[in-house]
Amino acid sequence: QLQELWAKLNLRYFRGTLPAVDIEWSPRLTASSGMFVSRIGPRTRTTGSAHPPPGGRLIRLSLPLLQRQSDQEILSTLAHEMIHQWQFDVLKKRPNHGSDFREKMAAMNRDGLGITIRHDLDDAVRALAKYAWRCLRCGRVYERQRRTIRPRHHQCGACRGQLRELV
């Protein structure tokens, strides 16, 4: 079903210019609702993966974040990742949320796709967080699904204060 939806969006908004891409539901993707991955070309690092996606491209959708969401949320997430694929494959640029992305998003949103740069799933992301750190200076809290913040090497992005893990 996702592949059919991708094919329809490709024809309508990208004139069929996007090369085929695998789309998968990822049970491990919890920090964002979707991700475009490319394992080929000079703009990417090699990962040593024994099983790169066919054609070197893959769109991952977060199973934990999207499984209880509406079809509209899934559609807008897929369309968002397709814009990144378009930037990479057609424009030959590193995917980002700059002017090219925003112009394409606005054009697609005129038809009601509801694409955004940031998803509205912050509560769902927070619910999956297992680890948290608080800035000792300003009190800002950083939540993560994995223990990726090392207080000896990282500091608060807002005030440069020291971080302490919450237990």
DSSP character for 37?
E
Chain Cα centroid distance, residue 95:
11
- DSSP lists the bridge partners of residue 142 as 133
What is the phi/psi pair of residue 20, to 5°?
Answer: -55, 145
C-alpha 30/C-alpha 153 separation (Å) is 24
C-alpha 158/C-alpha 16 separation (Å) is 43
C-alpha 90/C-alpha 126 separation (Å) is 35
C-alpha 12/C-alpha 7 separation (Å) is 9
- Six-digit token string for 105: 């998003």
Residue position matching structure tokens 């559609």:
75
Q: Is 81 a catalytic residue?
A: yes
Q: Which of the following is catalytic: 81, 103, 143, 165? A: 81
Catalytic residues: 81
